[in-house]
Amino acid sequence: MTPPPPDSTRRRRGFEFVGFFWILPILVAAFPSGALPPIPVLWAAAIACLILLRRDDRLDRRTLWGGAGVAAGIPGVLGRFLIFAPLLAGFAWLMEPEWFLKFPRDRTGAWAAVMVLYPLLSVVPQGIVFRTFVCHRYRSLFGNGVTMWLVAGTTFGFAHVVMHRWEPVMITIIGGVIFTSTLLRRRSGLLADLEHAMYGDLAFTLGLGVWIYSNAARQSL
Is 127 inside any structural domain?
yes
CB atoms within 10 A of CB 56: 9
What gap in Å lies between CA 82 and CA 86, rounded to an integer?
7
pLDDT, tens digit, for every residue of 135-169?
999 999 999 999 999 999 999 999 999 988 999 99
Is 120 inside any structural domain?
yes
For position 211, what pLDDT does the model report? Answer: 87
Longest dimension (CA), the chain: 59
What gap in Å lies between CA 86 and CA 18, rounded to an integer?
34
Is 66 inside any structural domain?
yes
pLDDT at 216 over 80: no
What gap in Å lies between CA 139 and CA 117, rounded to an integer?
31
pLDDT, tens digit, for every residue of 26-62?
999 998 877 788 899 999 999 999 999 999 999 999 9
Domain range enclosing 62: 36-219
Is 30 inside any structural domain?
no
Residue of 140, 124, 142 lying closest to 132 (CA atoms) = 124
Is 110 inside any structural domain?
yes
Q: In total, how many domains does the chain have? A: 1
Is 91 inside any structural domain?
yes
pLDDT at 214 over 60: no
pTM of the model as a whole: 0.92
pLDDT, tens digit, for every residue of 85-141?
999 999 999 999 999 999 999 999 999 999 999 999 999 999 999 999 999 999 999
